[in-house]
Amino acid sequence: MNQIREPSEGRANVRDDRQRKPDQAAEAKTGGEEWPLSDGYGDNEPGRRATDRGAYKRFAQELRDRKLSRFFRLDWKAELFSYTREDQAIAAAEAFDGKLYVLTSLPKDAFPAAAVIERYKSLADIERGFRVLKSELLIAPVHHRLETRIRAHALICFLALLLHRVMRQRLKQNQATQSPASALRLLEQIQHHQVTVEGKAFQGITRHTPEQRELFDLLRIEQPA
């Protein structure tokens, strides 16, 4: 079991009863022997005196872990542990606080800043389209092996996505409360029936509900008769 005792000369001391080497065990008297913390970052071997070089390594590793290396400069050639703050780098980082910068390689004359920001904000719409393809339109899994059928499946899903986007835009323009998913659930209740009685064929469509007729008006679609 590791025990840490109070430092007697300004340095913490560690005692390890499980990983003691034979020569260290011989030196340890009744009541235990104390050894200083190890030198060097990541070296847990007891019995080595801590130095400024080990403090440098631990401090540098801590800066790297916290991604703060550019804000502090270590003086590795100094006899004692020494570092300086990079105030210019800190001020430059503070200027970015609370801001989002969009970098692009597109030419400025063809894509001004406003167009780049608008295109960046449209990424949310693109991601929404992928979610619709995966959830509502079920583009996957693909139960086909032939390349032509796989392409046809992808084309049908793409056309369905276009219709889905048109529905969402028209519903939004008319400030409708329905979403495309709820609108589709309402429309799929409409059924077309065709029966044959004594050689005569009869067909018709179920009667539209007031909600369905209102939805056709919002989507600017002619009601099926």
200: which residues sit within 8 A by CB, 6+ positions away? Answer: none
Looking at residue 54, its pLDDT comes to: 76
- On whether residue 193 sits in a domain, the answer given is yes
Looking at residue 16, its pLDDT comes to: 44
Same domain, 83 and 144: no
Kindly compute the dihedral angle of the four CA atoms of residues 131, 134, 135, 136, in this order, to the nearest 10 degrees: 100
Same domain, 26 and 86: yes
Q: What does the pLDDT look like over 92-134, one tens digit per residue?
A: 888 888 888 888 888 888 888 888 888 888 888 888 888 888 8
Closest CA to 20 of 8, 29, 11, 12: 29
Residue 52 above 80 pLDDT?
A: no
Looking at residue 151, its pLDDT comes to: 94
Question: 10 Å Cβ neighbour count for 70?
Answer: 12
Cβ–Cβ under 8 Å, residues 63 and 69 = yes
Q: Which of 27-41, 53-67, 75-89, 165-179 has the lowest mean pLDDT?
A: 27-41
Q: Give the domain-ending residue among 95, 122, 154.
A: 95
The per-type count for the chain, helices as H runs and strands as E runs, is 8, 7
Give CA separation, 32 vs 4, 108, 111, 142, 170, in Å.
12, 73, 73, 70, 81
Q: Identify the band that residue 225 occupies on the pLDDT scale cut at 50, 70 and 90.
A: confident
Domain with 26, as residue range(s), is 2-95
- On whether residue 106 sits in a domain, the answer given is no
Q: Give the domain-ending residue among 42, 76, 95.
A: 95
Give CA separation, 68 vs 61, 74, 106, in Å.
10, 12, 31
Residue 6 above 50 pLDDT?
A: no
Same domain, 85 and 150: no
Residue 37 above 80 pLDDT?
A: no
- On whether residue 103 sits in a domain, the answer given is no
